[in-house]
Structures are given as C-alpha cells and as structure tokens.
Amino acid sequence: MKERDFGPVMLIPGENQGRYPFCHSIYIKGPGVLIDPACDRKKLVELSKNSSVKEVWLSHWHEDHLMHLDLFDDLPLCISEPDAPPLSDLELFMDAYGEMSQEERGYWKAVLLEQFHFRPRKPARFLKNGELIPLDGVTVEVIGAPGHTPGHTALLFREPGVLFLGDYDLTKFGPWYADVNSSIEETIESVNHLRTIPAKVWLTCHETGVFEEEPGPLWDQYLDVITEREKKLLSLLEKPRSFGDIVGAWIIYGRPREPKAFWEFGERLLMKKHLEKLIHEGTVTKKEERYHRI
C-alpha cells in the first residue's frame, strides 16, 4: 500500500495493511497536522526529525492510534473531551477498557508500555463536534461520531471533499464497541450519519483505507455484522447459558486464541455489551447467573 495524496491531505499507510495493532495515519501538509500517529515508526521518525509536524490530533483514545505518539511529546495534542481522560494515566487507560483480572491487567500494562509506548498526555485543546478549523489550504469540519468510543471523531476536509471515518473502517470484522463507555446503539447512529455526508473520497484507519467511490453496500455490510452477532447470541440462548458458556462459544472470534488476555478479554467485553442491549430491550433476562431468551 502506497502513500496517497488528496490535495493537502495525505494518507500514510500503516504496517501490515493497517491491521491492528497498526493503523493508517493522516497528515495535513502545510499546517503540519498529524492524525493518529500509529502507521510506520520509521516514517514518523523522519517527520519528527525534519520538524514538519506542528500538532497531533487523535480520532479517539485507543492504543492502536497512539502507538508512536511518544515521538511527538513536545507538540500540542488535540482530542475530543470525552476521550481525553484515558490518556492522562495508565491505570485510567486500562479502566476504560472494562473489568480485568489481575493477570489481564498485568498483560495490558506491559503491552501498553512496551509495544504502544504509552506516556501520560494532557491535550492542549479539545476537538469539538461541529467546529470548523481553518488550516493552511484546507478547512476541517469536526464531526462527533460516538459509539466506538464516547468521543470518537470523524473529520471532513471540505475543499478536497475527503471524509475521514476513523475507526468506522468498513472492514469485514465489523464495528468494535466493547469498552466501558462504548455503545452499540450510538455506533449504529454514527455510521448511519456518516454515510449521509457528501464526499468524494472516504478514508479509514484500517485495511482498505481508501475508498474513491461511495462505499455503497459496505455501509450495510459493516452494520450487518452487529445483527449477525446478535442472531448467533440469541440462537445460543435458546437454552439458558452462563456467561462463561457464552464467551466460550466464540461468537466474535470464532475459536479460542492466545493470548487469552487479549482474545478472550475482547470476546467477553463484546458479549457483555450485546447482553446489556438485549436485556434492555426485553429480549433476554438473567436468572440465577444464567441468561435466558424470552
């Protein structure tokens, strides 16, 4: 995958096609704004050495979007206000994922420090939904798109007609909405809102990354993953199941994988969100530590 220019907006591809733990970065040439610095460390070291980056923005707080933020410790950082707290402290960062065992916490602490170079950061200012930011050569419209995280932010670069979708990446895996303050309902609302915004090019943080034609059916396919996960869960609950049974069915990832502190943890958090949704809707109930389909 090669770097792509769309006027002043450049997509810098992440390693391994931008698959987790990497992501594609966006760089606005001229004003020197770098968005989600987790693409390729060598490229970002080069940018940091020639002093072309003046400011760093984050679409949200997740680790795979700040992997190389440590290279820019001396530069102003911008993020939405709801997503700022996890950046301030490693313990708060882990708390924002969800409930962890001590073993899982130890795993994530090591990974965040060693692989993702986590360092506490305080934003210089917040990106606010609806604001227009005039930069040299381009006007940026900030679009609040919560669900993935409470303050997940999309960006419309008006003059070139480029819409940056962030982690609503239109991949086959589907949306992620597993953290404490994530929301399935808000994820659906945000994706449906983003698909109504006129653009000429759509950029995302992972995998394909660049869509030069309206994504069309990909929007529905992306959201259909949520529906399919829910259908599988409801089918499983034709018989009462414990939470352990549900996690052990591997509806999300298909099979057990190592390390458990990553894969089983993610499976558990996503299933918890679906169960909360179904209980709220009156489709599922919990009795004596077992979940029942109504």
Mean local confidence (pLDDT), 131-159: 97
Residue in 169, 141, 138 with CA at minimum distance from that of residue 155: 141
C-alpha distance from residue 24 to each of 76, 139, 179, 269 (Å): 20, 21, 22, 25
Instruction: In whole angstroms, give the CA distance from residue 266 to residue 57.
Output: 26
Residue 206 has what pLDDT?
Answer: 98
User: Per-residue pLDDT for 137 more than 90?
Assistant: no
Counting Cα atoms < 13 Å in the Cβ hemisphere of 135 gives 24
What's the mean pLDDT in 121-150?
97
**What integer is the mean pLDDT of 257-281?**
98
pTM comes to 0.96
Span 58-83, pLDDT tens digits: 999 999 999 999 999 999 999 999 99
Rounded Cα–Cα distance for residues 132 and 142 (Å): 6
Determine the 3-state secondary structure of 175 from DSSP. Answer: coil
What b/e readout covers 239-253, taking b as 16+ CB neighbours within 10 angstroms?
eebeeeebbebbbbe
Each residue of 10-35: pLDDT tens digit? 999 999 999 999 999 999 999 999 99
Say if CB 170 and CB 209 are below 8 A apart: no
pLDDT value at position 170?
Answer: 98
| Mean pLDDT (whole number) for 110-117 | 98
51 pLDDT above the threshold of 80 = no
Q: Which two tokens stand for residue 96?
A: 């924002």
Q: What is the mean pLDDT of the chain?
A: 97
Residue 50's pLDDT is what? 83
| DSSP class per residue in 232-267 | HHHHHTTS-EEHHHHHHT-TTTSS--S-HHHHHHHH
Give the pLDDT band of residue 49 (cuts 50, 70, 90).
Answer: confident
Query: In order of start, what are the domains of the chain with their CATH numbers?
Result: 4-215 (3.60.15.10), 226-293 (1.10.10)
| Sheet containing strand 33-35, strands side by side | 4-6, 9-12, 25-28, 33-35, 55-57, 77-79, 125-126
**8 Å CB contact between 273 and 252:** no
% of residues, the chain, pLDDT over 90: 97
pLDDT at residue 56 is higher than 80: yes
Mean pLDDT of 124-137: 96
Chain Cα centroid distance, residue 135:
25
Average pLDDT rounded to a whole number, residues 133-156: 97
